[in-house]
Amino acid sequence: MADRQLIEPDMNFVKKIEDFGGDTLKKCFQCATCSVVCKLSPENNPFPRKEMLWAGWGLKDRLVTDPDIWLCHQCNDCSAYCPRGAKPGDVLAAVRNYSFMHYAFPSILGKALSDSKFLPILLGIPVVILLFLMGIAGHLNIPQGEIVFEKFVPHYIVDPLFITVSILMFISLIVGVTRFWNGMKQGVHPSVSKKVPVGDFVKLHVIPTLVDIFKHSKFMKCDRNRWRYIAHLLIFYSFIALAMVTGIVFLGLYFLGFEHMLPLAQWNPVKLLANAGAIALFVGCTIVISNRLKEEEKKSKSTYFDWVFIMVVYFIAISGILTELTRLAHLAGLAYSLYFVHLVLVFYLLAYLPFSKFAHMIYRTVALVYSSYSGREG
């Protein structure tokens, strides 16, 4: 009986998903209203009905290898229409959060990121490292004169540190994503086994997926919460803008020989881009947070995992903007302190990316590529 599956529910998994914000999952009685109202769900084997049942039955292995959980953009149409209050949108979000932890490498960091009691340690690490390195370099004082951050934390400290962290982060991410890809291949929507040449793969699956992501076309289908789409769009493009600024500065410093290019003049196009990005990030985060607070009133559960991520991003935006403003106001003490805070938070965001909600941009992209590759979206 090869077509008969032995089902062994994992009760702890059920509890975990409940802890991660999916505490309504057991309310589902499988009417499939969610799958009917969902605009993103494929016609064949639609989500989230089946995911709700798997979650209720504690079928962890199916869920973590299911690309469909990433097709969901959590517009919550399903939750709004659910006759039982089972909130499939929240349950899928919880399952996604569980996935970060599941694929995290090393897994200890995955656990730490999802538990509030580790937050001081996780923030403490960059503080200690930065202070230690600055101490070695003899920079543990507020520099005098014109405010130039390089005088406070020299490039030769910041850049090697962040480069190292980025490399480690990428290694971790690659391990996680590889596990994820292989999991999906053996999971519930197995891909066709035939080999596709890399060029075709990129042309047929990667590029269209990326175009979709850049256009936010999936997100746009969720008409239940227009503000979420706008907020996400702002945050998404602000990150791109800020990443471009970082890249340009990096090029300038080390490859084009502009050793003293910083701080950039306010009229510099790169500076304009940076400021625009910072404001977009701030506005986007403000919308997200105010939405979440509203949702909180309606008792839609936002967990620690979600909150900590958005707050870190928000404080990065705020500390960045304030750093710039205090610098322009010549408030040396404040400016340097804020810059330090800003660095710590950026470290947090970057170093812990594979274990935090930030990783969704990678996992979702991979899942969307996989869905396209496996013919899921027809």
Q: Which residues bind other proteins (CB under 8 A)?
A: 1, 3-9, 11, 14-15, 18, 26-27, 29-30, 45, 50, 53-54, 56-58, 84
Nearer to other proteins by Cβ, of 62 and 271: the residue is 62
* Residue among 351, 323, 305, 348 nearest 120 (CA): 348
- Whether the CA torsion 349, 148, 326, 321 is positive or negative: it is negative
Nearer to other proteins by Cβ, of 46 and 284: the residue is 46
Nearer to other proteins by Cβ, of 1 and 265: the residue is 1
CB 1 → other proteins: shortest distance, Å? Answer: 8
Nearer to other proteins by Cβ, of 14 and 92: the residue is 14
Nearest-Å Rg of the Cα atoms of the chain is: 22
CB 15 → other proteins: shortest distance, Å? Answer: 6
- Sorted by sequence, the CB contacts under 8 Å of residue 232 that are 6+ apart come out as 216, 219, 284, 288
Nearer to other proteins by Cβ, of 30 and 182: the residue is 30
CB 99 → other proteins: shortest distance, Å? Answer: 19
d(CA 53, CA 352): 32
CB 186 → other proteins: shortest distance, Å? Answer: 16
d(CA 205, CA 208): 6
CB 8 → other proteins: shortest distance, Å? Answer: 8
Asked if 364 and 103 count as a contact pair (C-beta separation under 8 A), the reply is no
- Whether the CA torsion 349, 355, 358, 361 is positive or negative: it is positive
Report the C-alpha dihedral over residues 54, 58, 64, 65, rounded to 10 degrees: -50
